[in-house]
Amino acid sequence: MPPPFPPRKSAGQKWAIAGATFGGLALLGMVASAVLHGGQSSGGGSGGDDGSPKYRITVPQTLAGGKYKLVKDLSQQADASVPHDGAYAHGLKTAGGQYANGTTTLVMMGIYGTIDDPATAVDHTLRGMTSDGNTAVAVSDRKITPSSGGGPLTCGVDVRRQSGQKITLSYCVWADSRTNASVAKADGADLAQDPQSIDLQALADETAKIRTEVRKPMG
């Protein structure tokens, strides 16, 4: 007969669940964003280049001043799944990675190229994060200006159910005419963290630092 209760997950198993969830969630969000850019939205983009400086998304070995270390580069896997041209974005490439700091897993995923409508890009990224039917909004997203300045970020908290486990996922998203990226994280030591306890201003400040580390001029 099976045991009356399932065995408790070890800290390592919880970390693995968080990492796998985040890899899938970030890829799903960005792929959905690109697909929606590809013509499922009303209206259309200019299809041109505004002449602004070109930027790319990079995958450094560390993020946030060395706080997070790269575990896996997800760029090749993601780029193979994302259309490179659509109604609102053109010449797209994808880059991203899974990072860790102790029990905390962080995923940074972005696309870069020519983005005609950054506001629509953010909206589609957010929709993609909850489109799987297993993820729900826990703290509604809102625009937050980082304490260090720079463009505002859209940040919030989702809760995902996977293998009977609730996983609290906090995130920030940005988009401009050249880049569209998300940073999301969870703590494997407290996967079901109270969503209301997450300091989104602190997350926005950290994401702003990450943005400067991964968004680099072309050439």
Do residues 74 and 82 make contact, with C-beta atoms less than 8 angstroms apart? no
Give the pLDDT of residue 32.
Answer: 46
Give the pLDDT of residue 165.
Answer: 81
Give the pLDDT of residue 121.
Answer: 86
Give the pLDDT of residue 41.
Answer: 34
Report, as ranges of residue numbers, the positions in the chain whose pLDDT lies below 70.
1-51, 86-87
- Return the structure tokens found at 56: 């790319």
To the question of pTM greater than 0.85 for the whole model, the response is no
Give the pLDDT of residue 21.
Answer: 52
Give the pLDDT of residue 3.
Answer: 38
pLDDT in tens, 104-158: 889 998 889 998 889 888 888 888 888 778 889 999 999 999 999 889 999 999 9
Give the pLDDT of residue 24.
Answer: 58
